[in-house]
Amino acid sequence: MFEKLLSSATALRRHQDGPFAAERERYLQHCSDTGATYWSLRIKCNELLWAARLLDGDAGNGLDMDGLEALADRRVVFENSGTTRRRFINITRPWLQFLGWWHEPAVPCKFQDKLDWYCLWMRDERGFTDSTIVGWRCRVRDFLIWCDAGNRELQLLQPGDIDTYSIDDCAHHRGRRTVATVAALLKNFLRFAASQSWCHSQLADAIRGPRIYAQGSLPYAPDWSDVQKLLACTVFDAPQDIRARAILMLLSIYGMRATEVATLRLDQVDWQQHVIRIFRLKRRQPQVYPLLPSMAEALARYIDTVRPSTPYPEVFIGLHSPRRPLTRAAIYKIVSSKFLELGIKVVHRGPHALRMRLTSAVLRAAVNGGNLVPTKCFDGNQSGRDCG
């Protein structure tokens, strides 16, 4: 890799003879494989040589942020420009992570074993999806850290403690629905904890979330005219627009969840049979849908002209290095940015709002005697009642 980046024989020899040459070259090859440009690799190559020279011989034992900051202090002695420190840290830390030499600072949690056991129970006994487990784990972990900080033992928790936590949590300006969700998942956790004799058996029953009004979030879904505006703003030739159009169509026409879009693989699109095979996360089973001509055109244009060549099987890949599959959060950002760009004023502007647009259309057709219900609701629910 050094030979591709360095034309000077002196510079090439300096990099090859420097410390950790094999480790540096392996990481640069990885960056190249994930789409890094030539000049980006050149900058990384030079900065990593500095890092290698500053590291001790036992660097393989690991380095934390304090250690990296100390290296940065020594680095700026040789070149103290305004960007030296930030550039050194931003390049060296991913290299150490790639090598497994980075010690991520961890917030200690006294109840870590119980939290891990709860996550296993959600996965194995309840069949929760990975994204649900991650979200619930973060919320429960916050609660357990709060208990630990206040020297509260689970065995001694009282309903008043739960109220105190809810008040503290609401201080972060949580919405009514978010507070209700947190109350529900805490109740779920405390019921599990009670089954393990970790806390009082009636503690979970004392939790009461706020009242959720049936029409409190209406209108949840945007108007169809707004969806058309979203699609119309992606008819241009910019790579991000071509990708966004395919994503928006999957959300608004097929009612796919953000996670289902992010995990959609190339082999799930059957071009010969003109179908899309989607694994519905909540139903835990695959579904086959017709590949509409407009959808096929949008996907084909993205895959043929924009999607980078990567070993990943997922359809949607990041446009910048490192080129990796998009996450659910990235899908949300793409959709939300389009709502903001067009100035569309809706209560919810994420992928789920577009999914609910399809649900609303199905329910309206059911009420008016239309012909959308026989499609079995593209969003993956079994009936109009389930779609609601």
Pick from 220, 174, 167, 147: nearest CA to 387: 220
366 and 376 Cβ atoms separated by less than 8 Å: no
pLDDT of residue 10: 92
Which tokens hold the place of 377?
């609701």
pLDDT of residue 73: 92
Which tokens hold the place of 387?
């779609």
pLDDT of residue 179: 83
Percent of the chain's residues with pLDDT above 90: 41
Q: Determine if the peptide bond prior to 322 is cis (ω within 30°).
A: yes
Cα–Cα–Cα angle for 130, 133, 134, rounded to 5 degrees:
85
pLDDT of residue 295: 93
**Tens of pLDDT, residues 42-61:** 999 999 999 999 998 777 78
Identity of the amino acid at 161: D
pTM: 0.68
* Residue 102 DSSP symbol: B
Pick from 368, 367, 364, 362: nearest CA to 387: 362
Burial grade of 238 (CB within 10 A; 0-12, 13-18, 19 or more): exposed
pLDDT of residue 216: 62
Distance CA 303, CA 322 (A): 18
Distance CA 305, CA 64 (A): 41
Q: Name all domains of the chain by residue range, CATH numbers in brackets.
A: 2-99 (no CATH), 112-206 (1.10.150.130), 224-387 (1.10.443.10)
Intervals of the chain under pLDDT 70: 106-108, 169-174, 214-221, 281-284, 357-388
208 and 183 Cβ atoms separated by less than 8 Å: yes
**Tens of pLDDT, residues 257-296:** 898 999 999 999 999 999 999 877 666 677 888 999 999 9
179 and 166 Cβ atoms separated by less than 8 Å: yes
